[in-house]
Amino acid sequence: MSNSGMTTIEVKRINRSKVYQMIYEKRVISKQELAQELHMGLTTVTQNLKALEEDGWIHRTGYYESTGGRKAQAIEIIPNARTAIGAFVLKRSILLAAMDLYGNVIAQKTVAETFSATESYYQFLGKEIMRFANHAESNPDKISGVGIAIQGILSPDRSKIQYGKLLQHTGLDIADLTRYIPYPCFMEHDSKAAALAEIWDQPQLSDAIVFLLNRNLGSALVIHGEVHQGKSMHSGTIEHMCIVPDGKPCYCGGRGCLETYCSAESLQDQIQDRSFEAFFASVRENEPQSKAIWEEYLSNLAAAIRNVNTVIDSDVILSGFLVPYLTEADLEFLRQKVTELPFFAERNITILRGKHGEFAPAIGAALPFVKSTVEGI
């Protein structure tokens, strides 16, 4: 890139960013390696390292082994130079996560509280986020922002909830929800936030279908590494795909939606008073009734994976509450079900377990602040 026509300040800003980004990418690097990788003069690299160190973004962590001359210093970013907070607002709880600059989770918390579109709830949310943020990072100036994942379809400008049947919050103004949060805020649909979290950990996947196996089912599409929103923010709502015509009634007003067969709540309805721990223990012990319920669940999920793959030929990531209960045998059962039809037999569809369980939406909601901080240095 030519620096022609740029001011001295602009050139300095670009060089500073290049130096930081290279350290971030390499994790550990020496000054000499930076100069070589960036084709930048050693004096310029030294000046930028000094500025970044003084501003608290990087530190020197030791020395490389000598190759005959003076030992080179090892340089790394300071991962906790900034902390991003994520909050997942649910019907009966709030899940909180704090992230460092590499997107590592440094703290998590679950707070029991029933959602309501009321001033008292907004105050409670702000207070709990502040308390959690102070626990995760003692210096409030180091909090880069708060991302909020919430059920419901956002308006294209993310200012309102345009459809919110589950939480009964259609029309909710986001400014009201975040009124008591003294940091920059970002809002995302819960399933799309979960997709952000899972794709962050699977950078090799350019495209993916993400199923959020939570109390209520969710889903999202990742295309070319980005979560697809769609013209009216409805893209990826696979939970309302009909898989059983005239089947069970769904909260959306339809019947036979995937939500009514593959949400954790639909599974709870079938296992009744048993806990999920007890149910899955009986599945692993091959108890006939439990095994039949679980295999029906997986078969319905496989049908949805096939249906979506007729439109978007992509790998699959399973995220959310039920994922910790999934075994490799379950994934293999799913793969076999997906490919048992001749049309799908030759497809190499990878089905992966997500890494964050029910906290995935909270983690994903925080990641835009991680990304914007790193890119803005």
What stretches of the chain show up as alpha helix (H) in DSSP?
Answer: 8-26, 31-38, 42-54, 119-136, 174-177, 190-200, 259-262, 264-271, 276-284, 288-309, 328-339, 342-345, 360-376
Q: Are residues 179 and 96 in the same domain?
A: yes
Q: Are residues 247 and 303 in the same domain?
A: yes
The pLDDT assigned to 33 comes to 96
Decide which of 77, 112, 132 is a domain's last residue.
77
The pLDDT assigned to 304 comes to 96
Buried b (16+ CB within 10 A) or exposed e, 78-101: ebbbbbbbbbbbbeebbbbbbbbb
Tally of domains in the chain: 3
Residue 71 inside a domain? The answer is: yes
The pair of three-digit structure tokens given for residue 133, joined into one six-digit string: 């943020």
Residue 3 inside a domain? The answer is: no
List of residues 6+ apart from 315 with CB closer than 8 A: 205, 207, 208, 209, 349, 350, 351, 352
pTM above 0.75? yes
Q: Are strands 105-112 and 93-99 parallel, antiparallel or unpaired?
A: antiparallel
- Taking the CB of residue 274, how many other CB atoms lie within 10 A of it? 14
The pLDDT assigned to 3 comes to 62
Residue 35 inside a domain? The answer is: yes
Q: Are residues 349 and 367 in the same domain?
A: no
Q: Are residues 284 and 368 in the same domain?
A: no
The pLDDT assigned to 2 comes to 54
Q: Are 133 and 185 in contact (CB under 8 A)?
A: no
- 137-193: pLDDT as tens digits: 889 999 999 999 999 999 999 999 999 999 999 999 999 999 999 999 999 999 999
List of residues 6+ apart from 346 with CB closer than 8 A: none
Residue 1 inside a domain? The answer is: no
Q: Are residues 367 and 336 in the same domain?
A: no
Residue 357 Cα to chain centre, angstroms: 10
Q: Are residues 225 and 144 in the same domain?
A: no
| Residue 231 CB burial class (10 angstroms; 0-12, 13-18, ≥19) | exposed
Dihedral (Cα; 192, 275, 254, 258), 10-degree rounding: 60
Q: Are residues 118 and 21 in the same domain?
A: no
Find tokens 């409805």 and name the residue.
Answer: 234
Q: Are residues 212 and 251 in the same domain?
A: yes
The pair of three-digit structure tokens given for residue 178, joined into one six-digit string: 């975040």
Decide which of 31, 57, 77 is a domain's last residue.
77
Q: Are 91 and 152 in contact (CB under 8 A)?
A: no
The pLDDT assigned to 5 comes to 73
- The CA-atom distances, in angstroms, between 42 and each of 4, 19, 47, 48, 55 are 21, 11, 9, 10, 20
The pair of three-digit structure tokens given for residue 40, joined into one six-digit string: 């930048």
The pLDDT assigned to 173 comes to 95
Q: Are residues 237 and 299 in the same domain?
A: yes
Residue 124 inside a domain? The answer is: yes
The pLDDT assigned to 347 comes to 83
What's the rounded Cα separation, in Å, for the pair 236 and 181?
29
- What residue type is 154 in one-letter code? L
CATH number at 345 reads 3.30.420.40
pLDDT in tens, the chain (377 residues): 556 678 989 999 999 999 999 999 999 999 999 999 999 999 999 999 999 999 999 999 988 876 666 788 999 999 999 999 999 999 999 999 999 999 999 999 999 999 999 999 999 999 999 999 999 988 999 999 999 999 999 999 999 999 999 999 999 999 999 999 999 999 999 999 999 999 998 888 889 999 999 999 999 999 999 999 999 999 999 999 999 999 999 999 999 999 999 999 999 999 999 999 999 999 999 999 999 999 999 999 999 999 999 998 899 999 999 999 999 999 999 999 999 988 888 888 899 999 999 999 999 999 999 999 999 99
**HSE on the CB side for 214, CA within 13 Å?**
24
Look up the domain containing 49 and give its range.
8-77
Residue 295 inside a domain? The answer is: yes
Question: What angle (nearest 5°) sits at the alpha carbon of residue 289, between those of residues 286 and 295?
Answer: 75
Q: Are 84 and 366 in contact (CB under 8 A)?
A: yes
Q: Are residues 207 and 350 in the same domain?
A: yes
The pLDDT assigned to 341 comes to 86
Q: Are strands 83-89 and 143-150 parallel, antiparallel or unpaired?
A: parallel
Q: Are residues 349 and 252 in the same domain?
A: yes
The pLDDT assigned to 67 comes to 67
- 42-93: pLDDT as tens digits: 999 999 999 999 999 999 998 887 666 678 899 999 999 999 999 999 999 9
Residue 174 inside a domain? The answer is: yes
Residue 160 inside a domain? The answer is: yes
